[in-house]
Amino acid sequence: MARPTSNGLTKAMQSLRLSSQFSQRSLVPSSRQLTRAYATEAEPETTNTAIQPESIPDLSVQAAPEIDFSTSFLRNPARIVPASPSYFSGSPRFVDHVLHLESLQARYAALPQLPAGEAPRMAWFKLKQFREYVGEAVPVKKYKSLVKILQRLNRIQTEMVPGEVRTVLDSFLRPGNPYAVVRETPELDENGKARAKGKRKESKAVVHLVEGEGEILVNGKSLVEAFPRVHDRESALWALRTTQRMDKYNAWVTVRGGGVTGQTEAVTLAIARALMVHEPGLKPLLRRAGVITVDARRVERKKPGHVKARKMPAWVKR
Amino acid sequence: MIVRRFGVRQSRQLLALNRRSPISSRFLSTETQIPVDTAQKEAPVSSPNPLHEVVQATQNPRSLAQKQFKKQEQQRSKFNKLGSAVTDSHDPEGLLKNPPRPSDITLELLLASGTHLGHSTSRWNPQNSRYIYGIREGVHIISLDVTAAYLRRAAKVVEEVAARGGIILFAGTRKGQKRSIVRAAELAGAYHIFERWIPGSLTNGQQILGHCATKVVNALDEELPEFKADLADRPSVKPDLVICLNPLENVVLLHECGLHNVPTIGIIDTDADPTRVTYPIPANDDSLRGTNLIAGILGRAGEAGQKRRIEMAREGKTLYKPVTASELRLDPFTGVLPGAEQTKGPKRD
């Protein structure tokens, strides 16, 4: 089948021929009565008479290429079908994912696996992200069952993981790797000063701790002025007291917000953290003393219908 | 002290410790034994430069685990052939991996799969009396020749629907039917549902299945992406045949199929209502082996139908009326071209 070179003239003539009904009829020979299938898709012809043009056409114009019936049959639409075999489940993309993962799990069940705790930690999609990813409202329970399969695949021994499994697992990872970020350990600055923060209730404390003779300044005042109660002073310096470092460090404390107890215990936490920067070996001691345990409790909000957070109004008969 | 040690040695925890029992290949091989040197071998001399070991380790880091696994596999393949050869046994995976064809239906196969067992006589539905062979130990026995005949008829129906390009839906929502359903749908080029049928998927399809993707295919089932834009506001797809393995639990599905004139095939046990489905298959619906068999046979029938359809399409023929490009471009609800509404509007007034 020799196709004509597509120069401008032939193209123009082709378009002319296609536009005029007259010459279009003469294109298909009457002997070949197949299903009509041009790109232009005209109705099948009823007349078999090929009408000859009266005048002799320009000999320099080449005939149009033969019609390729096989390809045009393939280009015709035949049916509208669902894109996925799980169409009728209502969440086809999710079900397809689950079936694919299950088939992988079955195929690679024989591969050696790591003990449960030793598998590399992976940050799978959060439920909300996964819902966006598949574009379907997946229930919590079903997503959990999918994550279970992911975890099982993730437990395949690291050297033995097939490439197929690895790419599939990677497709379920959250963007960015949260477990790759290593928190930098705080260090002393160039003046030998450790800076640490602590919070308790509504109070926030910042402590600058340097080696010294045991002088403490809280908001520019002495400790006795800042905390008149002995108990508060005891608890503020409890980290230094338990480790017998009272006379080894000077602290410069700024504490804002909240009441006296909150401020005191915020200072405790901040001093303990600053002390750990100077002497990391003290951590178990401080842990046992209970000064580096963060107390995350905050005041519970008041609810409508309640007098306070939980208190209900007294019962009145009428 | 001694008693305590004895206790430790004989304790359950020690016995339950996960240790691999050493299988010596000497005991399992049939070949003559080769004298084994039991003398302890010297430990390999470590090279003076410790870097050598590091280099060797980095050269092939995957080697150890893979070698072990390969060795294990080799051992398995080697010893699998040993032992007695068991013939004429039931392979539960066989029904899923290689299901029988409709031509393989025999009464022996049906009997072996337990399709003849009905329910306790007190639970029967009298409409099933024509399928029942008799009573044994207070349980109705389904007549297997009737089962075979109805199963063959159902297989024929599935094959013809597949050959005509119909959309077939396999539904089996009981626990354990998932794999056979998915496999049958895969074979028959059909669709599956193994969890709850969402009520309204047919009667309220636009709401429930509206967001699920569809595609336009040609006669050879190849996707035609150029018609994607025309699929936007189309009503949801409805099945042309529904095969239900547990009609008792899927009353809503069968009801919706009845409303939409969708023919159904169902496994009818002696306690089910045979008029709920178009083509009943009287059989035991409580045995997974039985339902797996029936799903597999129908899947194979669908496979044959699809094959026939594709072969015809290669010759340029179809047994169904294909949707045309101009029909696709029409608005599915008004039946006119998207731009033609303005011209039609004043006429109505």
Question: In terms of C-beta density within 10 A (0-12 exposed, 13-18 middle, 19 or more buried), how is residue A134 classed?
Answer: middle
Q: Do residues A245 and A281 make contact, with C-beta atoms less than 8 angstroms apart?
A: no
Q: What CATH number has the domain bearing residue B221? A: 3.40.50.10490
CB proximity under 8 Å: A 210-269 to B: none
Any domain includes B9: no
How many structural domains does chain B have?
Answer: 1
Any domain includes B220: yes
Q: Is B198's CB within 8 Å of A90's CB?
A: yes
The class (CATH top level) of A194-289 is alpha beta
Residue boundaries of the structural domains of chain A: 87-180, 194-289
CB proximity under 8 Å: B 167-186 to A: 167, 169, 182, 185-186
Chain A partners of B190 at a C-beta cutoff of 8 Å? 85
Strand (E) positions, B54-130?
117-120
Chain B partners of A85 at a C-beta cutoff of 8 Å? 182, 185-186, 190-192
Residue by residue, pLDDT tens for chain B (349 residues) are 444 444 445 555 555 555 555 555 445 545 544 554 545 545 544 445 544 544 444 445 556 878 888 898 899 899 988 888 888 888 889 999 999 999 999 999 999 999 999 999 999 999 999 999 999 999 999 999 999 999 999 999 999 999 999 999 999 999 999 999 999 999 999 999 999 999 999 999 999 999 999 999 999 999 999 888 888 888 999 999 999 999 999 999 999 999 999 999 999 999 999 999 999 999 999 999 999 999 999 999 999 999 999 999 999 889 999 988 888 888 777 777 766 555 444 444 3
State the ipTM, two decimals: 0.77
- Does residue A115 belong to the interface with chain B, where contact is any CB pair within 8 Å? no
**What's the pTM?**
0.66
Any domain includes B44: no
Q: How far is CA B21 from the centre of its chain?
A: 37
Q: Please tell me whether residue B165 adopts helix, strand or coil conformation.
A: coil
Any domain includes B56: no
Any domain includes B266: yes
Which candidate from B62, B215, B325 shows the least CB-CB separation from A76? B325
- Does residue B162 belong to the interface with chain A, where contact is any CB pair within 8 Å? no
Any domain includes B45: no
For residue B232, what are the domain limits? 152-318
Give which of A43, A68, A79 to mutate to test B binding, by max B Cβ within 10 Å: A79
- Does residue A135 belong to the interface with chain B, where contact is any CB pair within 8 Å? yes
Q: What are the pLDDT digits (tens) for A171-188?
A: 999 988 788 777 788 889
Phi, psi of A221 (to 5 degrees): -110, 165
